[in-house]
Amino acid sequence: MNQLFLSLNEAGLIFKGHTEQGEVDFIFLETYENGTTHSVDVDTFKTLFGDIEGSPTYEALSGPHTFKWGGTQYTMTAEEMGYQKYFDQWKEQRII
């Protein structure tokens, strides 16, 4: 996963932001027409996609993932979680 974060950082898609927990890293996902941006913090991304830690390829990211959220276990694909379009963009940009 570290290589993915390194590639995202090199592409300018990792930035620092402030939350109640202090300064954290975020992954920039998109900018909407009204100028607001959409991002995900790295820790949340690791929770959702941590099951492919050793091999975060496009195919692995796009597939099903099992994770715990709020004490409940889920299995969902990147498409179901709303991330597939970002993975498609990252593949097109040769980030992954």
How many structural domains does the chain have?
1
Q: What is the mean pLDDT of the chain?
A: 95
- Within 8 A by CB and 6+ apart from 55, the residues are none
pLDDT in tens, 18-46: 888 899 999 999 999 999 999 999 999 99
- Which H, E and C letters describe 36-79, residue by residue? CEEEEEHHHHHHHHHHHCCCCCHHHHHCEEEEEECCEEEEEEHH
Query: How many helices and strands, by DSSP H and E, does the chain display?
Result: 5, 5
pLDDT digits (tens, 9 = 90+) for 74-91: 999 999 999 999 999 999
- Answer whether residue 54 shows pLDDT above 90: no
**Beta-ladder partners of 19:** 22
d(C-alpha 51, C-alpha 61), whole Å: 9
Question: What is the domain extent for residue 75?
Answer: 1-93
Name, in order, each residue with C-beta under 8 angstroms of 58's C-beta and a sequence gap of 6 or more: 87, 90, 91, 96
